[in-house]
Amino acid sequence: MQQIDHDSSGKLKLGPGALYGAIKQLREENFIEELPFEDERERRRYYRLTRKGLNRLNAELEYYQDTIRLAQERNLLDHATGTLKWTA
């Protein structure tokens, strides 16, 4: 949860309900899997990307990379700040 806060610069604030709803969906689509746990009393569960999840992540990153490249080719980005040059 702290990681999500940090990565989104505090813009994305999830509660436990939304977080586990997302985890459930990712598990159902086989993008992540639960790591085996040794102690039954341990409440914390850990998840990792599956091969399908990794492929999907790569595809998403490629898509964003292509979008950024296109924006740079069209000279839409300010190279110094990495933000849009103009707004509507």
Partner 1 sequence: MDRISRRFPRYSALLRLYPARYRKEYGEQMLQTLADMLDDPEQRKFSVWARTALDLPFSIIRQQITYTGVAMTTTPNYMKYAAHIGAWMLTPFFAIIIINSFSHQWLQRTVLWHPAFLLTWIVALPLIAAALNAAALLRWAYIQRRQNHVAPLYTLADLRRSWLALVITVAGIGIFSVALWHDSVHCVTGNPIRELHNPHQTLHCIQQR
Q: Are 34 and 27 in contact (CB under 8 A)?
A: yes
Neighbours of 4 (CB within 10 A): 15
Taking the complex as a whole, the smallest distance from the CB of residue 10 to partner 1 amounts, in Å, to: 10
Summarize as ranges the residues that interact with partner 1 (CB under 8 A). Answer: 1-2, 13-21, 23-24, 43-45
- State which residue, 23 or 49, has the beta carbon closest to partner 1: 23
| Cα-to-chain-centroid distance, residue 15 | 16
Least spacing, CB of residue 19 vs partner 1, in Å: 7
Residue type, 45: R
Q: Of 4 and 49, which CB lies nearer to partner 1 in the complex structure?
A: 4
78 phi and psi angles, rounded to 5 deg: -80, 115
Given the structure tokens 């998840």, which residue do they identify? 47
Q: Which is nearer to partner 1, 15 or 36 (CB)?
A: 15
Beta carbon of residue 53, minimum distance to partner 1 (angstroms, whole number): 19
